[in-house]
Amino acid sequence: MKPINHFLTTALIMASTASFAQTTVIIKTDSTVTTTVKHEKYARRATSDFGIYLGFNNLSTGYELRPVGSRFLALAWHKRIPLSVNGPTKLRLIVGPEIAWNNFMFEGNNTLVERNNQLILEAANTELDKSKLVTTQLNLPMMLNLTFRSGLVIGAGAYAGIRLDSYTKVKSEGAKAVRTHGSFNLNPVRWGLTTEIGFRGSAKLFGRYEPKSLFRAGEWPDARVWSVGLKL
């Protein structure tokens, strides 16, 4: 927990410090210079944006997941804090909360059940249309973002978060889906690494990887989460 607490504290301190930073700008009468100075003033200002992450995720275990059904979704409210914007390459700190959903849809006719405090995949007695595990998490990402003169944007950083909810959803043929909420031996705190690449003003490719298992040690096979997709 100490590295995660340090990560969250550092993000909040950097965001607070940058929000009180002031920049003195002198605007000359010449119209060309005025336009340039106004652009530099905007570049030095902390801004906010809203992003949507859409993609697919998987687990590093022997259990097969449906590629299309195992989806990732996140709604992110980010603060873009300028760190170095004087040259052709701009460096910014991206920090802000997000709500993320991981859908892990199991292949075949398997359901997730608990036996003697252990989670296992067990074949259902009836034919299933779908069987999946869904987690909802509140994350705080912190990422360094480089923007080049060409418009290419590259970002890399980390995130940490806490579980808000989790449930299984099982739907048999011709029957209503059944949701079962519970902790399912999931780790209450998760963290991971994240990266993004794309061009300014357009959708970007993203990738995420969690080195720590999704489940608590000894209560399910070691299952690390990875996700890929687009940030809109």
For residue range 63-122, list pLDDT tens digits in order: 778 888 899 999 999 999 999 888 889 999 999 999 999 999 988 888 887 777 777 787
What values do phi and psi take at 12, rounded to 5?
-65, -40
- Say if residue 18 is exposed, middle or buried (CB neighbours under 10 Å; 0-12, 13-18, 19+): middle
What values do phi and psi take at 40, rounded to 5?
-65, -35
Percent of the chain with pLDDT over 70: 81
C-alpha–C-alpha distance, residues 29 and 26, integer Å: 10
Lowest-pLDDT choice from 48-62, 110-124, 140-154, 194-208: 110-124
- What residue ranges define each of the domains in the chain, with the CATH number in brackets? 46-231 (2.40.160)
pLDDT for residue 13 is more than 60? no
Predicted confidence (pLDDT) per residue in 42-75, tens digit: 557 888 889 999 999 998 876 778 888 899 999 9
3-state secondary structure of 157: strand
pLDDT average, residue stretch 118-134: 83
pLDDT value of residue 67: 80
Per the CB < 8 A criterion, the answer to whether 7 and 142 are in contact is yes
